[in-house]
Amino acid sequence: VNLLRKYLGDLLIASYVEAVRDSDCDEAYVQEIERAVALKALDSFWRDHLVNMNRLSTA
């Protein structure tokens, strides 16, 4: 399972790097999009955490 996870992770990263390299997007623009996606994911995980903590405190 760990080997498969590593393989798929490496494959996804390589595909992403290739897609960015082949695109005509400015590097600063790509970095801004990466930043926005990372913040959105972090915010989603944080909200889920807060909901779970609220459920635990009222249980």
Give the integer Cα–Cα distance in Å for 3 and 38.
Answer: 25
Which pLDDT does position 49 carry in this prediction? 99
Give the count of domains, the chain: 1
Residue 47 domain-assigned (yes or no): yes
Give the integer Cα–Cα distance in Å for 31 and 10.
Answer: 20
Mean per-residue pLDDT, 50-56: 98
- Summary mean pLDDT of the chain: 96
Q: How far is CA 53 from CA 9, 41, 42, 50, in A?
A: 30, 18, 16, 5
pLDDT in tens, 18-29: 999 999 999 999
Instruction: Kindly provide the b/e burial profile for residues 30-44, where b requires at least 16 CB atoms within 10 angstroms of the residue's own CB.
Output: eeeeeeeeeeeeeee
Which pLDDT does position 19 carry in this prediction? 96
Mean per-residue pLDDT, 29-53: 98
Does the pTM surpass 0.95? The reply is: no
Residue 31 domain-assigned (yes or no): yes
Domain, as residue range, for 51: 25-59
Contacts of 23 (CB under 8 A, 6+ apart): 30
Residue 2 domain-assigned (yes or no): no
pLDDT > 70 fraction of the chain, expressed in percent and rounded: 100
